[in-house]
Amino acid sequence: MPNTTTPTRHTPQTDQLPVVIIGAGPVGLAAAAHLLERGLTPVVLEAGSSVGDAIAQWGHTRLFSPWEYNIDVAAQRLLEPTGWEAPNPQQLPTGAELIQEYLAPLATALGDTVRTGTRVVAISREGIDKTRSAHRDTTPFLVRIAHPDGSFDDLRASNVIDASGTWSRPNPLGQAGLPAPGETAATAHGLITAPLPNVHGTERDRFADRHVVVVGAGHSAANTLLDLADLAQHAPQTRISWAVRGADVSSVYGGEAQDELAARGALGTRLRQLVATGIIEVHTEFVITGFDARDNGLTVQATTPAGTTELAVDVLVPATGFRPDLAMLSELRLELDPAVEAPRQLGPLIDPEFHSCGSVQPHGERLLAHPEAGFYIVGMKSYGRAPTFLMATGYEQVRSIAAALAGDRQAADDVHLVLPETGVCSTDLGGTCDTPTPETTDQGCCTPANAAPVLLPTTVSTCC
């Protein structure tokens, strides 16, 4: 059934209020640029100490997509008068380069619009809770902010755009979408790492000459495996295991030579070679049921078609994707797809059982609207648990929303997006954003920065 909600009606109560954007990643900052062009007042609230805080955590990783797909048009128009020069459109940036060469200059151009160190903990309507309907659409939003010193502020807003991403909430390693017994303790002991660790840099000693298992079947898993294989050339006692729930890993290899994004295709080719030569030991149909963390390592307990089994390792790298944190939205009237936790109208279009990122159609404000008029989830978080998000799709989302908030219904509904047929993905969820099979469970569109140019693997983490 079509969604008939409209943005919050402009009234004397809301006319002078800003549009609050949560998250200063690529999509959040692009939203601010589009709103400014439309004569509206954005305020970007970033929980981290700097823009692109989540991206900085995988800054050593190189994107699949070249610069031409990573720069929003309104952001570029805002940057050009400052003397900023666009990077080579065909080059593949690392996460750190994305911040240094694009996001940081964009934040500078946006000025006081961007506020860092401000974590949004709740969103509601001023003076009324979720149950109240009278005058709801004309009542300002109330955005509660937590500061690093422990203090709180309430910010009034005409509209709210949530571009906070999913990086802070990785999927659990256990079966049925639940943490396995012992998973929390193993993480606390440092035996389970964060996703996309810096294998060649600050975390090298954690992996060199150790037995490492990577869990997951997407591009983030692939890139960590490739990093570990490179490390093993210099630390020959390094042993690499790869555990997946599926019956085989061929879907992770992707299109290889047929992929329109050469870096992504090269990833699959190189990974296939490492598996074939036994450098990477694969454990298929491996369903984790528990962990036993000890001083001398980690025992991973699992079931397989042959029965129960245990794998003793030194450290485990999770690459099972991410899911949205919806806790701060509990006082809003949302309408989410029951399967993927995306806006209900968008959910069937992005379900990873039926779609890859290349087959998802562009979409705008109408499909992203909720019963809570004037509130939107965009970017990676808008795809919920689906792994098919494209950074460029996020840019089109916020362009359409900005047009709708400015009253330009025709521009809001005129959604369009031009990409390679194979897609240009930039996320990692319960599956991989580039691989059409539902078995892939990752987030990926980037590649280790140190990979050889000919075999440039790529993987990403939530950049939006």
Dump pLDDT digits (tens) for 191-228.
Answer: 999 999 999 999 999 999 999 999 998 878 988 999 99
Whether residue 343 is found in the same domain as residue 397: yes
Residue 379 domain-assigned?
yes
Average pLDDT over residues 262-280: 81
Helix axes of 219-234 and 262-276: crossing angle, nearest 10 degrees: 60
Residue 11 domain-assigned?
no
Return the number of other C-beta atoms located less than 10 Å from residue 49's C-beta.
10
Residue 444 domain-assigned?
no
Q: Model-level pTM?
A: 0.86
Name the residue among 245, 226, 255 with its Cα closest to residue 446.
Answer: 226
Number of domains in the chain: 2
- Compute, in degrees rounded to 10, the torsion defined by CA atoms 208, 214, 218, 220: -40
Q: Which domain does 298 fall in, by range? A: 175-320
Return the number of other C-beta atoms located less than 10 Å from residue 40's C-beta.
16
* Distance between CA atoms of residues 119 and 103, nearest Å: 19
Contact indicator for 88, 61 with CB cutoff of 8 Å:
no
Angstrom distances, CA of residue 260 to CA of 263, 315, 359, 436: 9, 35, 14, 15
Whether residue 221 is found in the same domain as residue 360: no
- Look up the CATH number of the domain holding residue 48: 3.50.50.60
Read off the tokens for 285. 């149909």
Average pLDDT over residues 227-249: 95
Pairing of strands 141-146, 152-157: antiparallel
pLDDT tens digits, 121-130: 999 999 999 9
Q: How buried is residue 111: exposed, middle or buried, by Cβ count under 10 Å (0-12/13-18/19+)?
A: exposed
* Distance between CA atoms of residues 463 and 96, nearest Å: 11
Structure confidence at residue 235 (pLDDT):
97
- The residues, any chain, with a CB within 8 Å of residue 315's CB and separated by 6 or more, are 190, 191, 192, 193, 206, 207, 210, 211, 212, 213, 298
Average pLDDT over residues 103-122: 98
Q: Got the DSSP string for 25-47?
A: SHHHHHHHHHHHHTT--EEEEES
* Distance between CA atoms of residues 239 and 214, nearest Å: 11
Residue 351 domain-assigned?
yes
Structure confidence at residue 429 (pLDDT):
27
